[in-house]
């Protein structure tokens, strides 16, 4: 299993967002000074599709995500035990290195991508004739915020890279940092 290592060598708590292509694979709210966090780079996620059929009647369907795929949310008109029959079907992707989200019902559908029960990213599909696409590829980008200051986006194709935040001693003001990827 591959992991990105996120290291905070600054004097302040760091927040990280990690993406694989356009897919958010981790949101780390706080890495303490001197702290390290491992972020799995595999595609072990769940997709939860949600739709509101009538006021106070939300319905959901869940499916595992393991690679590029096409997710189609459908709502049957027949009621199943007082609730609409809502289903999420997975098919092979028609676009390489992409997650495609579609719906066959009139109501808007929100697809929530989660890992270990934690929501990472929402994809909304409002139009039944269009699909929303999230590119996944093999480029990882990392963004950090330290002491209210935002980093540039570091990018790597190495699924086992080490990302380190260090104080920027070359900046005339204190509190700035730089990001290094090895």
The total number of structural domains in the chain stands at 2
Is residue 150 domain-shared with residue 119, that is, in the same domain? no
Q: What local confidence, expressed as pLDDT, does residue 38 receive?
A: 97
Name which residue leads in pLDDT, 79 or 112.
112
For 7-53, what is the HEC assignment?
EECCCCCEEEEEEECCEEEEEEEEECCCCEEEEECCCCEEEEEEEEE
Taking 70 as the threshold, does the pLDDT of residue 79 lie above it? no
Q: What is the average pLDDT score of the chain?
A: 89
Is residue 12 domain-shared with residue 26, that is, in the same domain? yes
The boundaries of the domain holding residue 65 are: 45-135
Indicate the pLDDT class of residue 56, thresholds 50, 70 and 90.
low
Is residue 29 domain-shared with residue 63, that is, in the same domain? no
Last residue of a domain, one of 101, 118, 135: 135
Is residue 38 domain-shared with residue 9, that is, in the same domain? yes
Name which residue leads in pLDDT, 56 or 50.
50
Contact 67/99 with Cβ under 8 angstroms?
Answer: no
């Amino acid at each position: 299993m591959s992991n990105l290592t996120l290291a905070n060598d600054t004097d302040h708590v760091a927040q990280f967002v990690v993406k694989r292509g356009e897919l958010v694979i981790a949101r780390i709210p706080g890495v303490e000074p001197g702290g390290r966090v491992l972020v799995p780079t595999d595609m072990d996620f769940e997709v939860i599709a949600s739709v509101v059929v009538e006021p106070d009647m939300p319905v959901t369907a869940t499916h595992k995500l393991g690679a590029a795929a096409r997710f189609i949310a459908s709502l049957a008109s027949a009621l199943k035990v007082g609730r609409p029959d809502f289903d999420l079907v997975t098919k092979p992707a028609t676009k390489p290195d992409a997650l495609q989200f579609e719906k066959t019902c009139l109501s808007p559908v929100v697809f929530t991508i989660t890992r270990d029960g934690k929501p990472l990213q929402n994809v909304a599909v409002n139009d039944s004739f269009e699909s929303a696409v999230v590119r996944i590829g093999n480029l990882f980008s990392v963004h950090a915020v330290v002491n209210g200051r935002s980093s540039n986006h570091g990018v790597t194709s190495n699924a086992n890279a080490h990302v380190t935040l260090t104080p920027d001693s070359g900046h005339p003001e204190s509190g700035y940092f730089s990001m290094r990827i090895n």
